[in-house]
Copies of this chain bind each other. A is one copy, B any other.
């Protein structure tokens, strides 16, 4: 596998006929929070966005806008891409080929980026009308974002946010194991439960009752709550402290 230092740069966000310059700024911010920095704007009229409005909405992601490219047509914008995905609501009427679900297509996109360093375009339509059928026909594939039938109308920057988040997760998952702070294992949970049981036995807790139920109760408690090792150490130490109180302090 080719080592890509910045795989996110191989995925460009393409906004087709975006109307609101505030939306462009919000898209910059949404992208950058997920590590994406390549933005392409398609405006047939060639209109430059109002820099101050974009700055207000992009905050520290204004550099994404400064590095953005402006094209007059989607065809031009896609010229260097190996693969392009047009995001649209699943209407069925505007495209006769299959619609992918975002989550379904994300791992394949990441694989292409990581394995062959291809440039991939993620294409979003106009705020009001989305991608029209010609624009969608220019894309290699169509995909939709899972949403509720009653009100599926995602704001542009929110749609970009979800797509970048999904791709980032796919990228992290592909890159290697996932982040730290795992819950403890079954073996460790057994040990915690066993230790607690022993402390309680020492202070005379089990005069009558069997200890099995209590031990399993604590094991399950620890597992169900998903304690990490620091938390389970704390729980163990609490019972050690109780035992010491019982044995050493005068009444």
Contacts and interface: CB of A to CB of B under 8 A. Distances in A.
B205 A245 contact: yes
B231 A217 contact: yes
Question: Could you say how many copies of this chain the assembly holds?
Answer: 2
Interface in A20-53: 26, 29-30, 32-35
Nearest to A149: B35
A36 to B, nearest CB: 8
Q: How large is the interface on A (under 10, 10 to 19, 20 to 34, 35 or more residues)?
A: 35 or more
A141 to B, nearest CB: 9
A154 B152 CA distance: 22
A246 interface: yes
A224 to B, nearest CB: 4
Given A151-B61, A203-B245, A146 B168 contact: yes
Contacts of A178: 101
A55 B101 CA distance: 31
A153 interface: yes
Given A204-B249, A214-B238, A224-B226, A33 B148 contact: yes
A183 B145 CA distance: 18
Interface in A64-122: 96-101, 103
A169 B144 CA distance: 13
A148 B6 CA distance: 12
A169 B146 contact: yes
Interface of A: 26, 29-30, 32-35, 59-61, 96-101, 103, 145-148, 150-155, 157-158, 161-162, 165, 168-169, 172, 178-179, 181, 183, 200, 203-205, 214, 217, 220-221, 224-228, 230-231, 234-235, 238, 241-242, 245-247, 249, 251
